[in-house]
């Protein structure tokens, strides 16, 4: 070939003739992303969201958000002739009669579970490495909001089929709303269109789930990514890595290929789960009936800690001046309010104690900040104990231990486990950090009787 | 070279998976085949891309960071633009006016939310009235003889079976176990009736923990959602779990036909409490 010009030149020229710019694409393609595996969680969360949008759009084409009664006459025998809502019937039709409907429905549900899980893991990475520090406080706040929106997405989504499990979940949600001081009764009435049982809640949750929340998520994810792009990624310390550079792979072609590859792997994993792992079989739960709640009914995992908090709360309510603050207020409103308040405040709370106003692009290892790491582990263990409590009846049943014993142990555990795990983590992190500290030299007495530095300690 | 082969394998698997998906869809082969084929198509594509990117990987690149902060001149320019307020002759009163207008706009915008629901009333109200018979889900009245020991019967107000708050549980207990107030609350031969709607979070109280081998053990009603327990022999007062309030008792008698009937409605609303509850 005699033509020595790179192939795309003509295309680029023709594009710039029309837009007047190369769009900064050259710089974008040269951008460098770090390679560390812990950075994948945010990407996976994003790709779960992509799968959610695609699969959810398909589901929405078949869903009927009406709670008007109809008689089920589909192919699922045990429910034939049973009065169900149109919403429930449409999900049944999607699961049994629409070809590929069930697999896409199950992919959607699994994607929701993994979406929240990967957000949580991503936040753990950011927290334990101190990536939330200046200049990334805004992105921490956006991330906390994305977690909240993810929870809201999950709850509004699994409430749509109007089955026994989701109806019971909504009933509990209503009791939490009712428990809000002063405004609770009004908020409940406006939300559910009157007092329980609601006949329109599904038709209200539907536009929230498919329009309002996805739009908010899209906007905030856009802002989140734009800030990452602008601020560039953090990176762990290492040879050649400083506060002033980013070492890793260029966007084009390596990172782009790997990232699209991750999208494919995420979607492929979700497809396998959707095909082989049954989830939310609403035909086994049956339609919602306010007079029936079944035992070992579990919400999706990311709501389980709230369910656990409701279960462990001692029987306490406040009655004064003719008004009442009912029991669910404390575990259902106050506790999550405090927890999310603390989560949002992380960058500012830490700064208050460290007085560290510097810009950080190099990450801490968890051992480098023992107090932060200990607090993080303690906070996670709170959620862990609450999550276990969300299954206390199943635990009692499986282990043949009286329920009262399990509840009491979990209540004690809720106080002790965070303290113990925090203390243990602090000690562990500090000793690991000391081991790595080059200024600490271990002297040992050798076999010959002389003293020597331990070689591996001194070589660090 | 290995990565090259991985890429070839991945893209090949992907193509096979995609074809497989179409075949599985066409033949209505079911969720497992669809999931397996879709998964192969996507996982294969991912493996292909990632292997390929590894095959052409030429090591780390380095990009320099630049300070995010704008320089002083830019900051000053923006600050000057923002404080270009000389045309506001009376800044204070105008600011107050625009503030008031914004607040009014905000208040105006939320007002239509009022249409979403009625003024809250009748929370926990039920159709139970004096003389209303207890019927089972198939609409049949309840002969006291049908209420066995160690069992739990769910009944509804006759003519209003669909009401979301009306469900009632009926149990039979040894008369000598019943407390004074439970008997006064309207028990018939050891048969007592309580609202089925849990006072904690509104789930249906379902399980009746009873041990027929040990009749001395107190039977308890258990809510499956948060495991509150209630003592049916003593006005269904809460004895374990998060519930703070008793299940409301439905006063019973037997009518001329020998069926269970309510002598009155509940003396309070049923279900979870809220702010204005005493």
Distance CA A96, CA A101 (A): 8
- CA A370 to chain centroid: 25
Tens-digit pLDDT profile for chain A (460 aa)?
Answer: 445 566 678 888 888 888 888 878 888 888 999 988 899 999 999 999 999 999 999 999 999 999 999 999 999 999 999 999 999 999 999 999 999 999 999 999 999 999 999 999 999 999 999 999 999 999 999 999 999 999 999 999 999 999 999 999 999 999 999 999 999 999 999 999 998 889 999 999 999 999 999 999 999 999 999 999 999 999 999 989 999 999 999 998 899 999 999 999 999 999 999 999 999 999 999 999 988 876 667 889 999 999 999 999 999 999 989 999 999 999 999 999 999 999 999 999 999 999 999 999 999 999 999 999 999 999 999 999 999 999 999 999 899 998 999 999 999 999 999 999 999 999 999 999 988 877 766 677 777 777 766 554 444 3
Q: Do the Cβ atoms of B249 and B186 come closer than 8 Å?
A: yes
Q: Which of B36, B124, B273 sits opposite A324 (nearest CB)?
A: B273
B209 touches chain A (CB under 8 A): no
Residue of B83, B57, B227, B211 lying closest to B149 (CA atoms): B211
Q: Taking 70 as the threshold, does the pLDDT of residue B215 lie above it?
A: no
Residue B3 neighbours by CB under 8 Å, 6+ apart: B51, B52, B54, B55
List of chain B residues whose C-beta atoms are within 8 Å of the C-beta of residue A316:
244
> Are B275 and A323 within 8 A, CB to CB?
yes
pTM recorded for the entire structure: 0.93
CB atoms within 10 A of CB B2: 9
List of chain A residues whose C-beta atoms are within 8 Å of the C-beta of residue B44:
268
Distance CA A265, CA B50 (A): 10
Q: Which of B164, B202, B228 sits opposite A172 (nearest CB)?
A: B202
Backbone angles phi, psi at B243, to 5 degrees: -65, 140
Distance CA B100, CA B123 (A): 37
CB atoms within 10 A of CB B94: 12
ipTM: 0.91
> Are B61 and A180 within 8 A, CB to CB?
no
Tokens of A198: 């609601």
Q: Which of B33, B118, B238 sits opposite A315 (nearest CB)?
A: B238
Residue A85 neighbours by CB under 8 Å, 6+ apart: A66, A67, A68, A69, A70, A162, A202, A287, A288
Classified as helix, coil or strand, B136 is coil
Q: Taking 60 as the threshold, does the pLDDT of residue B114 lie above it?
A: yes
Q: Do the Cβ atoms of A249 and A35 come closer than 8 Å?
A: yes
CB atoms within 10 A of CB A382: 20
Residue A61 neighbours by CB under 8 Å, 6+ apart: none
pLDDT at A458: 42
Tokens of A99: 């070809």
Q: How far apart are the first and last CA of chain B?
A: 77
Per residue in B122-150, pLDDT (tens digit) is 899 999 999 999 999 889 999 998 887 76
- Distance to chain B for A282, nearest Cα, Å: 16
Q: Which helix (H) or strand (E) holds B262?
A: strand B260-262
B213 touches chain A (CB under 8 A): no
pLDDT at A424: 97
Mapped to the 3 state alphabet, what secondary structure does B185-228 carry? Answer: CCCECCEEEEECECCCCCCECCEEECCCCCCCCCCEEECCCCCC
List of chain B residues whose C-beta atoms are within 8 Å of the C-beta of residue A289:
204
* CA dihedral sign of residues A116, A120, A123, A125: negative
Give the model's confidence band at B212: pLDDT under 50 very low, under 70 low, under 90 confident, else very high.
low
Q: Do the Cβ atoms of B255 and B133 come closer than 8 Å?
A: yes
Residue B97 neighbours by CB under 8 Å, 6+ apart: none
CA distances from B114 to A62, A421, B106 (A): 31, 48, 14
Residue A337 neighbours by CB under 8 Å, 6+ apart: none
């Amino acid at each position: 070939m005699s033509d020595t010009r790179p192939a795309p030149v003509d295309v680029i020229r023709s594009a710039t003739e029309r837009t007047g710019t190369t769009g900064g694409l050259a710089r974008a393609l040269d951008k460098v992303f770090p390679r560390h595996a812990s950075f994948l969680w945010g990407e996976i969360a994003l790709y779960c969201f992509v799968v959610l949008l695609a699969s959810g759009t398909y589901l929405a084409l078949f869903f009927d958000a009406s709670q008007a009664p109809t008689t089920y006459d589909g192919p699922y025998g045990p429910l034939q002739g049973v009065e169900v809502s149109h919403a429930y019937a449409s999900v049944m039709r999607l699961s049994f009669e629409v070809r590929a409907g069930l697999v896409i429905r199950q992919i959607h549900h699994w994607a929701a579970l993994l979406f929240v899980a990967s957000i949580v893991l991503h936040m753990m990475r950011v927290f334990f490495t101190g990536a939330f520090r200046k200049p990334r406080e805004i992105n921490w706040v956006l991330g906390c909001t994305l977690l909240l929106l993810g929870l809201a997405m999950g709850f509004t989504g699994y409430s749509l089929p109007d089955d026994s499990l989701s109806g019971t979940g909504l009933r509990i949600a209503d009791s939490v709303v009712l428990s809000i001081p002063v405004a609770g009764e009004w908020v409940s009435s406006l939300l559910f269109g009157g007092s329980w049982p609601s006949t329109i809640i599904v038709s209200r949750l539907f536009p929230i789930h498919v329009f309002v929340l996805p739009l908010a998520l899209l906007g905030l994810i856009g802002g989140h990514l734009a800030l990452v792009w602008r601020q560039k990624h953090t990176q762990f310390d290492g040879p050649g890595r400083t506060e002033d550079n980013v070492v890793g792979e260029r966007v084009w072609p390596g990172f782009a290929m790997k990232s699209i590859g991750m999208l494919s792997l995420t979607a492929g994993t979700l497809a396998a789960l959707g095909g082989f792992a049954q989830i939310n079989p609403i035909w086994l739960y049956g339609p919602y009936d306010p007079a029936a709640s079944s035992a070992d009914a579990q919400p999706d995992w990311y709501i389980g800690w709230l369910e656990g908090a409701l279960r462990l709360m001692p029987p306490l309510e406040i009655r004064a001046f003719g008004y009442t603050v009912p029991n669910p207020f404390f575990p259902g409103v106050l506790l999550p309010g405090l927890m999310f308040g603390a989560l949002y405040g992380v960058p500012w709370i830490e700064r208050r104690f460290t007085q560290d106003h510097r810009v950080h692009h190099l990450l801490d290892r968890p051992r480098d900040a023992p107090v932060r790491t200990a607090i993080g582990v303690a906070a996670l263990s709170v959620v862990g104990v609450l999550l276990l409590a969300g299954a206390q009846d199943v635990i009692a049943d499986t282990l043949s231990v009286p329920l009262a014993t399990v509840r009491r142990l979990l209540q004690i555990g809720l106080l002790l486990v965070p303290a113990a795990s925090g203390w243990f983590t602090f000690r562990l992190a500090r000793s690991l950090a000391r081991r790595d500290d080059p200024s600490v030299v271990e002297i040992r007495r050798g076999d010959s009787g002389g003293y020597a530095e331990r070689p591996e300690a001194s070589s660090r | 070279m290995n990565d090259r082969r991985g890429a070839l394998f991945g893209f090949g698997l992907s193509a096979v998976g995609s074809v497989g998906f179409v075949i599985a869809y066409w033949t209505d082969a079911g969720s497992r085949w669809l999931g397996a084929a879709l998964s192969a198509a996507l996982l294969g594509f991912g493996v292909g891309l990632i292997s390929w990117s590894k095959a052409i990987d030429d090591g780390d690149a380095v990009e320099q960071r630049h300070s995010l902060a704008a320089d002083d001149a830019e900051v000053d320019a923006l600050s000057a633009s923002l404080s270009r307020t000389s045309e506001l002759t009376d800044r204070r009163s105008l600011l107050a006016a625009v503030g008031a207008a914004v607040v009014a706009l905000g208040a105006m915008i939320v007002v239509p939310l009022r249409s979403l629901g009625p003024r809250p009333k009748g929370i926990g109200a039920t159709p139970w009235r004096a003389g209303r018979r207890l019927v089972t889900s198939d609409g049949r009245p309840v002969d006291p003889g049908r209420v066995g020991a160690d069992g739990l019967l769910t009944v509804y107000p006759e003519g209003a079976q669909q009401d979301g708050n009306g469900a009632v549980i009926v149990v039979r207990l040894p008369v000598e176990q019943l407390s004074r107030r439970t008997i006064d609350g309207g028990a018939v031969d050891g048969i007592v009736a309580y609202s089925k709607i849990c006072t904690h979070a509104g789930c249906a109280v379902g399980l009746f923990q009873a041990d027929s081998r040990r009749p001395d053990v107190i039977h308890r009603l258990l809510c499956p959602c948060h495991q509150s327990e209630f003592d049916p022999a003593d006005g269904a007062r809460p004895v374990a779990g998060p519930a703070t309030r008793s299940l409301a008792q439905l006063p019973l008698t037997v009518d001329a036909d020998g069926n269970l009937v309510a002598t009155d409605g509940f003396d309070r609303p049923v279900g979870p409490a809220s702010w204005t509850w005493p």
